[in-house]
Structure 1
Amino acid sequence: MTGGAVEVVLYHLSDDPDRVLPAYHEASRRMAGTAGLLGNKLLHALGDPRSYVVVSRWADWEAFTAWESGAGHKDQTAPLRPLRDTGRDRPFEIYRELAAYAGDRATTLVADAGKTADAGKTADARKAADAGKAAEAGKTADAGKAADAGKAADVTSGAGAKQKEGV
């Protein structure tokens, strides 16, 4: 399972919010410098004040599995283990990144996601054509509006297309 970053989502529950942040910081401190770990973050559910998730980002599947099977794994994550949401079938999920958007630019990360890249190219061509038509008509302000409309279509069509394929 190569080909892109991996994100691991760990589910936690706590009735005592004062326990969560120190445990998260201690586990993160212990994991600092771990090969392949790009970072992590703690999220708090808006709909359930007891629910927290830790999302860690790994360079790839191999880096994550090397760490997970290593001797330090359990010690590094020990501060958060008592808070693990054991009421779930699995207290974690692992996701491989397929595509991402940064601003108005799409990045397709796996070869089989070509349809998303094609949708982005089509929308980019449409943006350029719309901006060119507006500029030819002497409406430079409208050119910017057309480009902005194209960007919105680019984000909607590209992301939506990939989500539908993956579900």
Structure 2
Amino acid sequence: MSGAVRVLVFYSAAAGHESSVIDAYRRVSMGMRGTAGLLSSQLLQSALDPSEFAVLSEWTSLSQFNSWEQGSRHKGQTSALRSYRDDDSGKGYGIYEVVDQF
């Protein structure tokens, strides 16, 4: 096990307003640069429904992610995306530990 963690957070936009999510992600990602433990972040857009998005972030460890998520800066750093969060299909996010890779 590598200890790395991947976090997926799901977002959606009204049809025709997809660029709003992209712009919000860009603002959030600029503020996240240099965050301890954050290795990378990607905005993914569904090939099946362009109004659906996911942010995939990679963290060095679950403890680093938890420290950031429970810290005082978390809500402010991600506020631009909050209104687009898609919680309709469950909790709206997933946290996955890497157990194997090639």
TM-score tier (shorter): over 0.9
Matches of residues 76-91 of structure 1 in structure 2 within 5 Å? Answer: 76-91=77-92
Q: Which structure: larger Rg?
A: 1
1:120-144 CA distances to partner (integer Å, 9 max, x unpaired)? Answer: xxxxxxxxxxxxxxxxxxxxxxxxx
Q: 1:14: which partner in 2?
A: 13
Residue 20 of structure 1 deviates from its aligned partner by 1.2
Residue 73 of structure 1 deviates from its aligned partner by 0.2
Matches of residues 144-155 of structure 1 in structure 2 within 5 Å? Answer: none
Runs of 4+ in 1 over 6 A off after TM superposition: none
SS of aligned partner of 2:25: helix
Q: CA RMSD in A?
A: 1.2
SS of aligned partner of 1:99: coil
Q: Counterparts of 1:26 and 1:39 in 2: how far apart (Å)? A: 15
Compare the two structures and name the one with the higher helix fraction: 1
Which AA in structure 2 matches 1:6? V
- TM normalised by structure 2 equals 0.93
1:102-124 CA distances to partner (integer Å, 9 max, x unpaired)? Answer: xxxxxxxxxxxxxxxxxxxxxxx
Q: 1:123: which partner in 2?
A: none
Matches of residues 10-159 of structure 1 in structure 2 within 5 Å? Answer: 10-15=9-14, 16-101=17-102
Q: Counterparts of 2:54 and 2:19 in 1: how far apart (Å)? A: 15
Q: How many residue pairs are counted as aligned between the two chains?
A: 100
Change in 2 beyond 3 A, CA 1:99/1:3: closer
Which AA in structure 1 matches 2:34? G
SS of aligned partner of 1:11: strand
Q: Counterparts of 2:13 and 2:38 in 1: how far apart (Å)? A: 26
Q: Which runs of 5+ in 1 are unaligned?
A: 102-167
Q: Which runs of 5+ in 2 are unaligned?
A: none
Residue 79 of structure 1 deviates from its aligned partner by 0.7
Which AA in structure 2 matches 1:10? V
1:4-37 CA distances to partner (integer Å, 9 max, x unpaired)? Answer: 1001000000021110111001111111111000
Residue 55 of structure 1 deviates from its aligned partner by 0.4
Compare the two structures and name the one with the higher strand fraction: 2
* Percentage of pairs with the same residue: 36
